[in-house]
Amino acid sequence: MLTIVIGALLLVLLGAALSSGLRRRTVTPPARAAAASVPGDGVEMIDPRKLLFSLPTIHDGLPPVEPGGAGAAAGGGGGLLREDDWRQEEFVAAANAEYVARTLGEIRSHRAVHAAGPGFRDVFVRGEPPVPLAAAGITVDDVARALGTPERGALYFMRDGLPRVAGGFSLVFPDGGFVYGHAQPGGVVTALGLGLVGGEPERHVPAPVARLAARFDLLFVDWVRDAVVSPGDEDGLRAWVERVLAAQSESDA
């Protein structure tokens, strides 16, 4: 289980421990790779047509990072996120229920067509839902109050320099994960996601997250695992957490 401490806040790596570990980077199964040694230089040449994506789906709205090298390495605290995990497990307005069901169906069809060994030949790219989260007028302060999370920090992407996400924020649970997102300059939230990491997320995450979703009528959607939890459904959230934990235990066995 990976945890990183930066400044006063626990900096948790979404996807490193309990998330699916999926990334946009390509993977090449040895049995399928068309590789040949180049004489004399020890370099393997791989046919790019044989490369596979390890993610079935990604979101196309990756936020920008702050200029000038502002990053975790320069100090401060907050959440650390792989870019390809952006909005893989997210909250959307319940008014998007039909869109969510339709899109999950399209992702299932995409999997069936493009799955190949441990990866996918192509990635399904998601856009914004018809009713954007910003339309609800939820602020970062609103989210923090609903969660009862006292500490908040910035959001950083896991790449060279650990750049800080412009408008990004994170709200850390004690030993369970964190809620992260992006907000407009006035504080209105435009994206809201959830990451699990820590020792006991099944104890610390479901109740406050259910409270948040009920307060603002939000669906929780896991696009990769094909899961939807209704607003305020604490049991549904707990079942989702347990599913993630079980999958992680299986992969570690």
- Report the pLDDT value the prediction gives residue 10, as an integer from 0 to 100: 37
- Report the pLDDT value the prediction gives residue 195, as an integer from 0 to 100: 86
| Neighbour-count burial of 203, counting CB atoms closer than 10 A to its CB (0-12 exposed, 13-18 middle, 19+ buried) | middle
- Report the pLDDT value the prediction gives residue 188, as an integer from 0 to 100: 98
- The tens-digit pLDDT sequence of the chain (253 residues) is 333 333 333 333 333 333 433 333 333 333 333 333 344 456 666 666 678 888 899 999 899 999 876 665 555 678 888 999 999 999 999 999 999 999 999 999 999 999 998 899 999 999 999 999 999 999 999 999 999 977 889 999 988 888 999 999 999 887 778 999 999 999 999 999 998 876 788 888 999 999 999 999 999 999 999 999 999 999 999 999 999 988 888 877 6
- Report the pLDDT value the prediction gives residue 184, as an integer from 0 to 100: 95
The residue ranges of every structural domain in the chain are: 25-61+85-153+171-252
